[in-house]
Structure 1
């Protein structure tokens, strides 16, 4: 009986040591993001985690932590630079204070479609900006999609440039957005998002601009009649890693993370666009009057806000600005060649 007890104890100890060895062999990676687990960010983070586990045969494990539990985008970016956190996904706009060239993606009316954005972000121009992160302590892997912003208001459809005249529009507390809509003829009013629904309901402002998903989830259709598809700004997210941590990885580990990031990117874009299409259909069903702005009117708007773009060009540098514009021209002429 005593021998059996000793054998059982030895088996338990051996099993515990084996599990400890397995745990020690597993690389745990914290991956932070701002939205909730059931959001497009959360779903794509899970795809990333699953792919990392699969490609590494379980030797690398992503711990996806959402709802800004690790801090805001800016706080997480600083944690990555300091080496206190491994990975995250967040807005390119919040990287502008670290890498000014990222302001390129804030340019109004830059892209005509998601497909154009994909080619530029995944191509030479997008890589040029990713490369600039390394000198600031970050490694960029891939761009995800937040989406296009569109216009709603309670007064009239916006089908041409002149329809902006006199509209009181809430905009983000951001100089680019303020100047853009002022130059288009609107009365741009900076307001916190938390105050927006009440401002629309009380007619303090006539309208606002946001992606379809936000318009739906915030129930703006209850206080807004018109939705004009302007696609005036395309907002990307970017998957980044701490350079201090990245430099400690083997080439194989980096390859696993890059392959998994590409898989998550492709899933996330498809998922986000599907969600946007469903949101637009629901907004129509909820009674919003929807109109598309014709390409020739978009071009007139581009011409009107040229001074805004000139300032962005100065901020990001002529080389970055021209690289993006050259690639867009090639895409629109059908002469763009994939990177690689």
Structure 2
């Protein structure tokens, strides 16, 4: 047997590594990726999408370009989800309730007063229940990339502060076009008006509706303080944000490109969650400076609201998946026990 000198061995190994790196680089092709969503570009969703674009550009050496379309320029949520399935939009960021028509389990995230804090949220989203739900989307033409942050939702209106359960009675509130939200606020006594987010500002400006409910960052960046006087911190729903990708586009990517997109999405997810949660604090301060009257809702009133909607919640749990709900509750219980 002949032995190759050490220097030559090193040279051959180095050459092999360079060839391997070149092959890897060649595996990344040129692609344009459209990301569309309804929030403003300076909302955490927009900041996260821009971070995703930067990471993809860097990881692909500029070969994969992400184009960001904010503020509903390519349509409302329902329209963009359909476009993702059809492959005309490559990626979007939507609240889980909008996916219940595709997979009912996503409706459980919208149950009122389910989560108390972000630690409970992350335990469910990043655990088996959350990840298994993402995998159910693929047969429907959608790749679930992960969960970003949207935040706890609160009620605003132009009539009066909401301090008690009774203060919700008769308010015309715009709700997301999803069953969980609609059933909850009907049970609380509000007059529910399902409406696309892209139509909401005008509806409040013209007093077609009295108010709405959204996380604080959305209220600030959409300038709802211009047409709403009262902000009541109900924290009734927590909304994660589901990052979804078109399966039609996904199938055009090779494995290296797919992994690049997954890695970029996870990095952007961590960034967006941090920004979103920091902005929840700063937005409250900004809204107060803009003249909104902000009130805390007493814990006893929150419990009254919770009790009022429990029959509605029980009905939705039976429809959306009691076994999945039990799995989610088990994750939440672990966090509470550790706190």
Query: Which of the five TM-score ranges fits, normalised by the shorter chain?
Result: 0.7 to 0.9
How many equivalent pairs are there?
Answer: 308
Q: Does 1:168 align with 2:168?
A: no
User: How many Å apart are 1:169 and its aligned residue?
Assistant: 4.1
Please give the residue correspondences for 1:1-340 in structure 2 after superposition, counting only pairs within 5 Å: 26-34=29-37, 35-153=39-157, 157-164=161-168, 166=169, 168-172=171-175, 175-184=179-188, 186-190=189-193, 192=195, 193=200, 194-199=202-207, 205=210, 207-216=211-220, 221=225, 225-334=229-338
Equivalent residues of 1:151, 1:229 under 8 A apart:
yes
Aligned to 1:9: none
Structure 2: segments with no counterpart, 5+ residues: 1-24
User: How many Å apart are 1:220 and its aligned residue?
Assistant: 5.1
Deviations 1:142-192, CA, capped at 9 Å, x for gaps: 11122222123466544444554x4524232655334323433x3424264
TM-score between the two structures when normalised by the length of structure 2: 0.77
Deviations 1:117-158, CA, capped at 9 Å, x for gaps: 222212222112101112212110111122222123466544
Structure 1: segments with no counterpart, 5+ residues: 1-21, 336-340
Tell me, in whole angstroms, the C-alpha distance in 2 between the residues paired with 1:71 and 1:24: 33
Equivalent residues of 1:33, 1:73 under 8 A apart:
no
Tell me, in whole angstroms, the C-alpha distance in 2 between the residues paired with 1:74 and 1:198: 24
TM-score between the two structures when normalised by the length of structure 1: 0.77
Tell me, in whole angstroms, the C-alpha distance in 2 between the residues paired with 1:226 and 1:74: 29
Q: Specify whether residues 225 and 242 from structure 1 end up closer, same or farther in structure 2 by C-alpha distance, changes over 3 A only.
A: closer
Equivalent residues of 2:27, 2:257 under 8 A apart:
no
SS in structure 1 of the partner of residue 207 of structure 2: helix
Tell me, in whole angstroms, the C-alpha distance in 2 between the residues paired with 1:98 and 1:80: 13
User: How many Å apart are 1:95 and its aligned residue?
Assistant: 1.8
